[in-house]
Structure 1
């Protein structure tokens, strides 16, 4: 709630806890620029290439992308107005597991905790909150952001993200089954 200018968030899995989701929405309403860097589904440790035998766990990266597409669609106007920037990180065959929140280049939360409901309610992880009132770390922050963004693709519209119909058949079946059973709400809390 303290953000006045910008929020920069890195998360490997797009499934924010309600508190982060709410604060992101409030910040954009106040005119704060929000940048979210999330790993591309192929940069997820659970990703299974369509050429390989599918296992249910391989559906996770797609479920996170479904969440991201829904979020981007709901915030299409904020994306168009440049209040919200969403970047997909992908670099060769590397996985993306960076987590952190930077607010106004003044507050930096560096943590091992995933930014998702399950982790925020169950996991006990170390974190470091840095308050840089004198801008001693601004240059390092800007360098770090540049290195992170170097391997990202800016999402200018939710339509850049694949639809369920574009996923491999086994993933489509899994997502439809989850939706039909109305299990997506439960999964959102535990993933």
Structure 2
């Protein structure tokens, strides 16, 4: 009995420490956090929703690099797809091209030290973002750099949901088909991706870098008006709120994880009450414990208010997209969940080009075609175990 009491007391103390660590860590973070603010620019965009086509284009542009390749990924898996990526980086470094690679410390935990050392032996600078740190170790473990940015010669940029790994090509049998959205751009906006990369680089390493003008070559304005919005565990909620408040006719939210905070949930309900059509598209499969269950807490009231919820069933759905009134859209790295809202480093692109949006909507409709519409009947028939997981998910939702 005494041993059980001690164990229970130890668990209680650990839980108290975790809560205090997390709350104080976030409070300290908000006091110190800064972020870049970019103006509206004009660039030409191409949307990729298939990993094979994205990698084919990305790798081809990297092979053609003349001065530098700057890549930041949350996750590089260290598998055979990653090796192809590394082979190109090493080859370009051997040619004298400057190559810098940033990866998230925990997101890229499968990356082997041997692989990193091999990259460095070719002159490639490799650094890790967001290493766990004291005094708020639990908070820092949860604060991830979730951005995915690549800049080639300061002229071509990539940003979106794809990381580097076999699952993004649909080669992981656990997930099957992988749907994601990623942007390639040429034009004025590339300089902002470059600046964001360098801010992360300087934050992760004290190594000096040159101030070559080749990092920022002259760029011509493209067709689409847009604005990059980087966030660091703050400000994303305000961005999403403004988008929802603007909606007059329709809102489409594509996300792998649907865990809004109270204000975002209330804004969705307000949009429904004023007659806005709200469509939510997310995966049927889950790649993390409890995230699927957490979403079900919001569905009954949203469905009753008229929202349509679809669950992608032929693979895994990882897209991060919001479309407002079929006139503007948001595509980037941020999910519609509390982790992206309050913890992660993210970057989204607001695109104010109805023609681009018009070309994007058929891709979303294709995904809806491969989805099942959620009903109140289905929710009411969920098992007691399912509903128990929902309540557990509610308790830990800030970390999901």
Q: Is TM-score (shorter-chain normalized) higher than 0.5? A: yes
2:325 is the alignment partner of 1:99: no
* Paired residues for 1:1-191 under 5 Å: 1-40=245-284, 43-46=285-288, 57=289, 60-64=290-294, 67-68=295-296, 70-79=297-306, 84-91=307-314, 94-132=315-353, 135-155=354-374, 157-161=375-379, 163-165=382-384, 167=386, 175=389, 179=391, 184-191=393-400
Counterpart contact for 1:7–1:32, Cα < 8 Å: yes
The separation in 2 between residues aligned to 1:122 and 1:166, in whole angstroms, is 29
Question: Does the C-alpha gap of structure 1 residues 15 and 166 become closer, same or farther in structure 2, counting only changes over 3 Å?
Answer: same
Moved over 4 A (4+): none
- Which TM-score applies when normalising by structure 1? 0.71
Paired positions, count: 155
- Which TM-score applies when normalising by structure 2? 0.36
Task: Using the TM superposition, give the Cα deviation of residue 166 of structure 1 relative to its aligned residue in structure 2, in angstroms.
Answer: 6.0
Greater Rg by CA: 2
The separation in 1 between residues aligned to 2:360 and 2:293, in whole angstroms, is 31
The SS at the match of 1:37 is: strand
RMSD: 2.3
Counterpart contact for 2:331–2:348, Cα < 8 Å: yes
Counterpart contact for 2:269–2:305, Cα < 8 Å: no
Q: Deviations over 1:16-54 (max 9, x none)?
A: 1334212211111110000001111xx2223xxxxxxxx
Counterpart contact for 2:326–2:358, Cα < 8 Å: no
Mark the runs of 5 or more structure 2 residues left unpaired by the alignment.
Answer: 1-244
Structure with the greater relative contact order (CA < 8 A, sep ≥ 6): 1 or 2? 1
Q: What residue number does 1:49 align with?
A: none
Q: Deviations over 1:70-118 (max 9, x none)?
A: 3232234323xxxx11111111xx2221111110112211121121112
Counterpart contact for 1:89–1:153, Cα < 8 Å: yes
